Amino acid sequence: MANSALYKNPILFAVVTTVVVLIGTVVTMFYPMMTPEMHPKLEGLKQYTPLQLAGKDVYQQEGCVGCHTQTVRPLKTEVLRYGEYSKAGEFFYDHPFLWGSKRTGPDLARIGGKYPDAWQYKHFEDPQSFFAESNMPKYGWLKNNKLDPADVEAHMKALGFTYQPEDIALLNGKSELDALVAYMQVIGTSVKKADAGDKKKDLSVEPVNPFKGDPKAIASGKELYSQNCSACHGVKGEGGIGPSLIDDEFLYVKGDLKDDDYFELINNGTQAGNVEEGRTMKGGMPPYASLGRDKIWHLVSYIRSLQGK
């Protein structure tokens, strides 16, 4: 009878339905959001320093999130291209999240430490010097905008971040470009990379370049070098952001390496701490495995031609 009365009274039925739906919503959605389990934090994750936070603000201010994402989905194609997939716990200090939804430019979730600071500065000042077809605007003018330490301190307080007066004092004389580079270098670094060590030889790599001395391979390598390497190693391998390729030093040790070592360095990159033929890498060069076997050998052919070998 009670149920029958409820159904016959539309106003009472609407009120009861609303209450039930609200209770269900609180139990299944809002309450879980308040539990610590819904806000994980990766072990070793650190809050942003004042300079890094200022860089994050510049990143938002310039609308970088409109062209770049900061999240790698757990898909094989994305992991192969960008690195380890994103973890919820690495965004604990991100207010707001800057995951983005459009990739006019590449994903930046694993950009931290991928390139040295000098690369980042030059890239912001002139993106086209690295990637001729890039439509990214130049941001060199940010170096003329000095940071306001008091403003950054206010942002630290608003987010509940801890800091010391000496941390804020370090901002004196720093520019928005300095801050943006600092922010780039911390993105994604809380996710542990593969352990560095002495990498085993790839047994599928020939010990000698199969395209050695091939004029067509050298021409192809020259074009690849111009597109991928010249911005760091110089137009003729003389060095710059990266080391010289034409002197008698390789991986900070006197003496050359063999062709297959060149191949492996280009293919795998130079992750800090990895060892090649007893020589320890300092990092700074990303892997170029995506070029494929033949193109990497073409690059080796061109580098050897620059060396007169």
Quick: pLDDT tens for 144-181.
Answer: 999 999 999 999 999 999 999 999 999 999 999 999 99
pLDDT at 186 over 70: yes
In 3D space, the residue among 211, 231, 218 whose CA is nearest the CA of residue 284 turns out to be 231
d(CA 65, CA 101): 8
Paired sense of beta strands 253-254 and 249-250, if any: antiparallel
Q: Which of 31-35, 98-102, 224-228 has the lowest mean pLDDT?
A: 31-35
Q: Exposure pattern of 275-284 as b/e (b: 16+ CB <10 Å)? A: ebeeeebebb
Q: Which CATH architecture has domain 50-184?
A: Orthogonal Bundle (1.10)
DSSP the chain: -HHHHHHH-HHHHHHHHHHHHHHHHIIIIIHHHTSGGGS---TT--PPPHHHHHHHHHHHHTTGGGT------S-HHHHHHH-SPP-GGGGTT-SS----S--SS---TT-TTTS-HHHHHHHHH-GGGT-TT--PPP-GGGGGSB--HHHHHHHHHHTT----HHHHHTTTT-BHHHHHHHHHTTTTTTSPPPPPSBPPP-TTS-SS-TTTT-HHHHHHHHHHHHHHTHHHH-TTS--SSSPPSSSSEETTEES---HHHHHHHHHH---TT-EETTEE--------GGG-HHHHHHHHHHHHHHTT-
Angstrom distances, CA of residue 164 to CA of 167, 180, 198 = 5, 21, 40
pLDDT at 200 over 60: no
pTM of this structure: 0.80
Confidence of residue 116 (pLDDT cuts 50, 70, 90): very high
Query: Do the two domains 50-184 and 215-306 of this chain adopt the same fold?
Result: yes
Paired sense of beta strands 275-276 and 253-254, if any: unpaired
pLDDT at 195 over 90: no
Stretch 94-106: mean pLDDT: 93
Stretch 273-292: mean pLDDT: 90
Residue range 215-306, CATH number: 1.10.760.10
Q: How many residues does the chain have?
A: 309
d(CA 145, CA 129): 23
Q: Per-residue pLDDT tens for 295-307?
A: 999 999 999 999 9
Q: How many CB atoms lie within 10 A of CB 147?
A: 21
Q: Which of 38-42, 166-170, 186-190, 269-273 has the lowest mean pLDDT?
A: 38-42
Q: What's the pLDDT at 220? A: 97
Q: Which residue has the higher pLDDT, 133 or 8?
A: 133
Q: Which residues contact 170 (CB under 8 A, 6 or more apart)?
A: 50, 51
| Residue whose token pair is 């007893």 | 278
Listed by start position, the domains of the chain span: 50-184, 215-306
